[in-house]
Amino acid sequence: MTSHPFARTIRSTPEGLLWEPGERWVRGYKGDVAVVDSRHPVLVWEPGVPVPLYAFPQGDVRTDLLRPAKNPRTGAHSGSRIFYDLDVDGESVENVAWTFPADDLSGYIAFEWFRHWDSGLDHWYEEEEEIFIHPRDPHKRVDALPSSRHVVVEIAGRVVADTRRPVLVFETSLPTRYYIPREDVRLDLFTATDHHTGCPYKGTAEYWSWSGAGDVPRNIVWSYPDPLPAVAPVKGLLAFYNEAVDLTVDGERQERPVTPFTASLRA
């Protein structure tokens, strides 16, 4: 069978890396200095890491700003060959970049984004859109769909939300999230916190914690006050962690899923 001419080609290396040529124009800045400016990046998936990162041809990187790391990391990024520190305008950032041991990726340099807050560039752009937290995965979808399903949320046996006008967010590899209008949530039973998280698909979220009794994780409720355009329907709506509340949809009690968030909710 002949493959489709536009089919994606994900390649693997003996070291367990997956990688794929990218087509987006990607730029990374430290302050006002463009450290990376590439129209030929590659996306790399490391073993056991759910999100990709970018690696760039050396010719698209300001290698004159990189120095061999003074305190190179050990055991990080699939046994990377060389780590680099970045020196820009008198400021040094340790272990900001590295090369992979894979022969397929020789000649490429990878960079930290924002998952490690102490080491990374300040701004990243795909085309003219600034991207936060980590690169978007081209094989992942996030769809926000208005619905008329009947959704009821309970905590410690108490109904805290009841709606027939949710917005359902379907995100690859995660359970469906049910975003509920504030008018249909007993927000008086929760306390706003100073916790915030960022998502490259949805934006920056704010959180609330349960004020009542029971063994309930903190920051159980979140909302995107200013979501990215792709999920605009969730603006200002409230969502609960399915992993830690009792959720009933159209009269059917949902099982609590086990996700990458489960362990952190128990912490």
Percent of the chain with pLDDT over 90: 69
Tens of pLDDT along 172-218? 989 999 999 999 999 999 999 999 988 999 999 999 999 998 889 99
What is the spatial distance between Cα 207 and Cα 247, in angstroms, rounded to a whole number? 19
Please name every residue paired with 168 in a beta bridge, in sequence order, or none if there are none: 145, 178
For the cut 70, the answer to whether the pLDDT of residue 115 exceeds it is: no
Region 124-130: mean pLDDT is: 93
Tens of pLDDT along 217-228? 999 999 999 999
pTM of the model: 0.80
Predicted local distance difference test score (pLDDT) of residue 265 = 82
- 157: its two tokens: 């046996």
Domains located in the chain, CATH noted: 11-130 (2.170.150.40), 142-266 (2.170.150.40)
Tens of pLDDT along 5-49? 545 688 999 888 999 999 999 999 999 999 999 999 999 999 888
For the cut 90, the answer to whether the pLDDT of residue 133 exceeds it is: no
Region 89-103: mean pLDDT is: 90
